[in-house]
Amino acid sequence: MADDTEKGNAREGEAGGLTRRSILKLSPLLLLAGCDMTPEGRTESFLRTFQKFNDWFQAKVFDRSRLSTEYSAAELTPEEGFRVNGKDDDPPDIDPATWTLAVEGLVARPGTYTLASISSLPKRVMNTRHVCVEGWSMVPRWGGTPLGEFLRMVGADPGAKYLSVESADDYTTSYDMPSALHPQTLLCYEAYDKPLTLPHGAPVRIVMPTKLGYKSAKWIRKLTVTDEKTGGYWEDQGYDWFAGI
């Protein structure tokens, strides 16, 4: 857990991030305001240009050593308030006993990895805020392997630029590599000191407190280390790609 200095810095970072978060909430309005129907019938949006600049700016100011606030046990969202949210109402059909995570792309050791191999790596437990683009937030207690530890184990190319994720419900998203390697980005397999439940993304999900909640993909089944910047389920519909907070 972060010491008092780190907590203070993180809280300042949260305050500074409100402006970006407010901009993200206005994205649907900007999309409508920025659209122009050309004679050829193509829709062009100022938002696309704005988002490219926003992604570039957020990547420039992102500090991999700057931690998000970690909260005390007294500040946790009660377990009964641990909210379920996703693109579909029902979780995919997954057998935890046979689940594996496929890894491919720019890695020295591609293949499939079990939950046992992931959980054998160093574990981090943290109470961090999960912020939804819809405007709500919560502070669960997460537990899992730092994604950076796993990427080192599979021999990810240290010069690779991006990481893309596919989930069992066909959800996709992608990250810049510095965000993937942030010490608080987890391959999460526990919540509230218990194994994740299926509605919350079991057996393994991404937890990324430096970004909005739609970047914390559930039910992950494949990671691809790449130099190609891909999109994602929500990103391809106009949501911010970097999604920093």
The model carries a pTM of 0.78
Secondary structure class of 178 (helix, strand, coil): helix
DSSP 86: -
pLDDT at position 55 is: 72
Judge whether 143 and 115 are in contact, CB under 8 Å: no
Token pair 């998000």 in the structure block, residue: 68
Q: How far apart are the first and last CA of the chain?
A: 19
State what percent of residues in the chain have pLDDT above 90.
Answer: 67
Q: How confident is residue 53, by pLDDT bands cut at 50, 70 and 90?
A: low
Which homologous superfamily is 4-237 in?
A: Oxidoreductase, molybdopterin-binding domain (3.90.420.10)
Report how far apart, in Å, the C-alpha atoms of 82 and of each of 5, 59, 78, 90, 139 are: 28, 30, 7, 16, 8
Q: How confident is residue 36, by pLDDT bands cut at 50, 70 and 90?
A: very low
Which residue stretches of the chain are H helix?
4-25, 27-34, 46-61, 115-119, 147-153, 177-180
Average pLDDT for 184-205: 97
pLDDT at position 48 is: 62
Cα 119 to the chain's mean position, in Å?
A: 19
Average pLDDT for 218-240: 96
